[in-house]
Amino acid sequence: MTDLSPNTPNPENTADSAAELLRKLRQKQGNWVEWGLAIATLQKSGYNPQEIFEATGFEPIQQNQVVVGAQVYNSLEKAGASEAARSHYATRGSDVLYELRLLTQEQRAAAAELTFEHKLNLEEAREIAKAIKDFSWFRTLPEGFSDHPGDAVAYQAWKLARQNTDLQERSRLIAKGLRFAHTPTARKQIEQLLVDFTVVSQRPAPFRPFIALIPKRNYPALSL
């Protein structure tokens, strides 16, 4: 009989713990964060999404949502999100946290605070995440706006409002900007749109033709 090293998992123990995880998932024990961690553990143990679905009832798309959502939730703790936000998302909102997956750890925590504060759904969370991601590309912050996620969302609304000729849509965007603006200076920038109706056209990025550089070669002379 071959002895197992202390760091080698016992196949029987692994099978037992996998069976226990499947049972807990099947009976929906614990919260969704624990479900995500359990599914991730099963997948690392060799179970594929279809096998997990057949054993627990969790569809593959649900598995992906809670696994990724749980990863985002764990990053909230590491980045110092408030106890109120973490407590809220421990029992609900895996779909909202899933939308924050492409952000950095710090951005996720700040965005989660914002979505919690404003009670946003997944569609709104998706917009928030995009606004924060786009805003992070600025080397120099736009005038009047800070790096707070609320100001990032307010800036996007401000920019779109300035480009919009439809008064109803423009008013909606201004209201959105005022709702999320975090700093007085950002609010002032948006309030300016209430008296300045100038429409700023959105300029497309300049077209840069692609020129393929063909390396110079010495070809033999043709005999005519």
Predicted confidence (pLDDT) per residue in 116-154, tens digit: 999 999 999 999 999 999 999 999 999 999 999 999 999
Per-residue pLDDT for 11 more than 90?
no
Pick the closest to residue 96 from 134, 131, 59, 123 (CA basis). Answer: 123
Alpha-helical regions (H) of the chain? 11-26, 32-44, 49-56, 60-78, 83-91, 94-98, 105-118, 122-135, 149-163, 167-180, 184-191
Instruction: Mean pLDDT check: name the lowest of 12-16, 95-99, 103-107, 178-182.
Output: 12-16
Domain spans of the chain?
13-119, 138-201
Residue 88 phi/psi, 5-degree rounding, is -65, -50
Per-residue pLDDT for 207 more than 70?
no
pTM above 0.95, yes or no: no
